[in-house]
Amino acid sequence: MKKHILFVAFISFIALALSSCIGEPDFSNIPAITFHSIRKITTIDAFSQSKKDSVILTIDFQDGNGDLGMTQDEFSGTKVTSPSLKGINNYEVKVFRAKNGTFSEVQFSPSLSGFIPFYFKPDGKSGPIEGTVDYSIAFLHAFTPKKDTLKFEVRIRDRALNYSNSVQSSQIVLNSD
């Protein structure tokens, strides 16, 4: 029994020692993103009662100091500590439409850009973070050309107003049913 307890203690010590050797990742303080996926969900819009396609863009992110995201108060400018963030979209989207096999940028009004509505490090402590973000954009069939082929370009901005790199999605066909 004593040998068993010593063996378990030894294995626990080795596991603890090995886990303490793994340090924090060394990410840049400028956010970096990669395209993860794009998908479409077709539903009925509750307000208009017509079909709509919700496009969900998923990106992976890394940030060395963890200053991604913002609160609704910061976005609207009601939080005094971050007036420089007022009205700034921290998730920027460009849309490209295929016409005769060539993609051209399409301007939407209002913009399809938005903001990541939460702060990833609410404790305020600086440190590396990584993960994924889903961003949804709705397209009503009544206002979307049949079999509309789009792709998207995305970049994000951190609380220090540093831009990430830009990534492009694969193409997706809307209003296809």
pLDDT in tens, 46-85: 988 999 999 999 999 999 988 888 766 666 665 545 556 6
Rounded Cα gap, residues 79 and 101, in angstroms: 46
User: What's the whole-model pTM score?
Assistant: 0.79
**Confidence check: pLDDT of 20 > 80:** no
**Any domain includes 113:** yes
Rounded Cα gap, residues 120 and 167, in angstroms: 21
**Any domain includes 92:** yes
**Confidence check: pLDDT of 26 > 70:** yes
Rounded Cα gap, residues 113 and 27, in angstroms: 25
**Any domain includes 170:** yes
Mean pLDDT is highest, among 21-35, 72-86, 102-116, for: 102-116
**Any domain includes 61:** yes
Taking only the tens place, the pLDDT of each residue in 130-148 is 999 999 999 999 999 999 9
42-78 as b/e: b if 16+ CB within 10 A:
eeeeeeeeebbbebebebebbbbbbbbbbbeebbeee
**Any domain includes 14:** no
**Any domain includes 124:** yes
Token couple for 154: 């995305």
**Total domain count for the chain?**
1
Are 149 and 98 within 8 A, CB to CB? yes
Q: What is the mean pLDDT of residues 3-21?
A: 48
Closest CA to 96 of 175, 170, 164: 170
**Any domain includes 1:** no
**Any domain includes 42:** yes
3-state class (DSSP) for residue 143: helix
* Range(s) of the domain holding residue 66: 25-174
Taking only the tens place, the pLDDT of each residue in 159-177 is 888 999 999 999 999 999 7
Q: In this structure, what CATH number is given to the domain that contains residue 132?
A: 2.60.40
Q: For the CA atoms of 69, 73, 76, 81, what is the dihedral angle to 10 degrees?
A: -80
**Confidence check: pLDDT of 4 > 90:** no
